[in-house]
Chain A
Amino acid sequence: MPLVPVPKSTFVQKLKRFFMVDLLKGMAVTLGFNIGALTDKDSVAGKGIYTEQYPKVRPDVAPRFHGAPRLNMDPETHDTLCIACNLCALACPEDCIDVIPMDVEVIVAGKPRRKKVLDEFIFDTSRCMFCALCQEACPTYCLELTQDFELATYSRAGFVWNREMLEQGRETVKYES
């Protein structure tokens, strides 16, 4: 076992050691922190409280946060923006998106045409790793990862979100603060 010899201490070092200078230095720093925390303006009400009161006060996450998925709708007509192009499902590394299209008959310029529209959208949030590759693939800015981060459910089936859940979002309990 190679051992490194601990250098012999000089007289000044011995004196410092006798008066416990290193200990006092360390304690001065920690005491400074304690006093600083009591007068810190960043803490809650300047009282040295740093704990976030989570269920009552929800934190503000960044605008780019990758949270719960959502299918955006046209704000005026409330039709879905999804064109059932399947690009998000192809981009997903975990294969957790299923886009189920259906054909409807529309009359364009007096002639009946078949058009592919979205029927059902399945998003398995239990397998999602929130990499946002689906959001980047979406050509119509329909699929979006939002700032909601409360995804816990009571069952595995609850993690699989259908189109209704993706469009309306989940209801979260609001507590009075």
Chain B
Amino acid sequence: MKDVRTMHQVEIATTKNALLDAPEMTLNMGPQHPSTHGVLRVVLKLDGETVIDLDCDVGYLHRGMEKIAENRTYTMIAPYWDRLDYIAAVSNGLVWVETVEQMIGLDVPRRAHYIRTILTELNRIASHLLWLGTHALDIGAVTILLWAFREREEILKIFERQFGARLTCHAWRIGGMPNDAYDDFASDVKRFVDNFPKRLDEYETVLSENRIWLSRTVGIGVISGEEAIAIGLSGPSLRGSGVAWDIRKARPYAAYADMDFDVPLGENGDTYDRYLVRMEEMRQSRRIVKQAIDNLPDGPVNAKVPKLIKPPVGDYYHSIEGPKGEIGCYLVSDGTQQPWRVRVRPPSFINLQALKQMSIGHLVADVVAIIGTLDIVLGEIDR
């Protein structure tokens, strides 16, 4: 009896030691994990609770967008582009129509450019609000999610009245817009623009100096400017590291050349700086919307578009500054009604490549914060 007990104890002791001595453990995060913002699978190699290696598994949401585009006419492809980054459907739609317009040499009326600028900037605010809500929720602040969705609702209502849909709007047509701005468009946008800064201040009161927020974000997921450029980061994730690169300034499209706005930059390249950059970007977007709605020109919103759109043989690349970064479209035409090849330059996919570099050495809970700060959308990563 006595022997059995001692043997049992010895057995427990050896297994305990074996577990404690195990050098590393593999942990699967996702694809159904709520903090991965979609169907992203992250294979973590852990030493205790510290991440020592990390591998991303993407492709669960692959729909073959680029292949679908090869079998559709140029007009038909536009609604599919809303499904890339469904949080920022208006920006995605813009890059497609602008690429085709520039390829066939269409001059879009000035009013259409202004309305495009207003609505893409509103979409940027909506995308950043959703990022803010989910990012704060991942870290543990539930209140912000509800507030951010309330402001986002105002923007989505404007989208519903203008485009007829809230999320996948199919906002633009080649050569302009499907409809002119609706009757109360200016007053709706102005009301949002007037109310928004007060709301932003409230978010900042709750988060910016909150000590839990600071200890969860300051010094987490640091990436330097050189590393960020080497990986190919773009958008707020790049500007958080202090690199001044914004396509709205560098290669102005739509009506951005007429607008006066600043590009906020971070210093340290950590999660907190990226948070500050995005918050300031929302203020700047509001500034752009206010300028555009005050100077909204009159006139038509559609250019004369040929019935059959057949771009000349050749290839063309055009990119815009989406809410997540540089979203680009590389288009190869063989002179027929359908593109020969379409390639999307997705900001989320390339930003996700920084995850490994940012996460190594941090804790598992910080990986959640870093995925949040990169602001990825899986619809765009997998296409």
Stretch at the interface among B18-26, B201-209, B244-252, B280-288: B201-209
Check B360 against A132 for contact (C-beta < 8 Å): no
Give chain B residues whose Cβ lies under 8 Å from the Cβ of A61.
160
- Binary interface profile of B, 170-200, with partner A (CB < 8 Å = 1, else 0)? 1000000011001000000000000000000
Known: A30-B206, A93-B76. A62 touches B164 (CB 8 A): yes
Query: Interface SS of chain B: helix, strand, loop or mixed?
Result: loop
B96 lies within 8 A of chain A by Cβ: no
Interface size class of A (residues with CB under 8 A): 20 to 34
Check A133 against B79 for contact (C-beta < 8 Å): yes
- Binary interface profile of A, 90-101, with partner B (CB < 8 Å = 1, else 0)? 011100000000
A17 lies within 8 A of chain B by Cβ: yes
Give chain B residues whose Cβ lies under 8 Å from the Cβ of A29.
202, 205-206
State A80–B308 Cα separation when bound (angstroms). Answer: 29
B261 lies within 8 A of chain A by Cβ: no
A141 lies within 8 A of chain B by Cβ: no
- B302 CB to nearest A CB, Å: 11
- Binary interface profile of B, 199-228, with partner A (CB < 8 Å = 1, else 0)? 000100110011100000011001110000
Give chain A residues whose Cβ lies under 8 Å from the Cβ of B231.
none
Check B168 against A129 for contact (C-beta < 8 Å): yes
- A6 CB to nearest B CB, Å: 6
State A153–B178 Cα separation when bound (angstroms). Answer: 31
State A17–B72 Cα separation when bound (angstroms). Answer: 61
Footprint of A on B, CB under 8 Å? 72, 75-80, 143, 147, 157, 160-165, 168, 170, 178-179, 182, 202, 205-206, 209-211, 218-219, 222-224, 268, 270, 360-362
Footprint of B on A, CB under 8 Å? 1-6, 17, 22-23, 25-26, 29-30, 33, 61-66, 91-93, 129-133, 136, 145
Could you pull out 28 A-B pairs where Cβ atoms are within 8 angstroms?
A1-B222, A1-B361, A2-B222, A2-B223, A3-B219, A3-B222, A4-B219, A4-B222, A5-B219, A22-B209, A23-B210, A23-B211, A26-B206, A29-B205, A33-B147, A62-B157, A62-B164, A63-B161, A64-B182, A66-B165, A91-B76, A93-B76, A93-B80, A130-B165, A131-B78, A133-B75, A133-B76, A136-B178
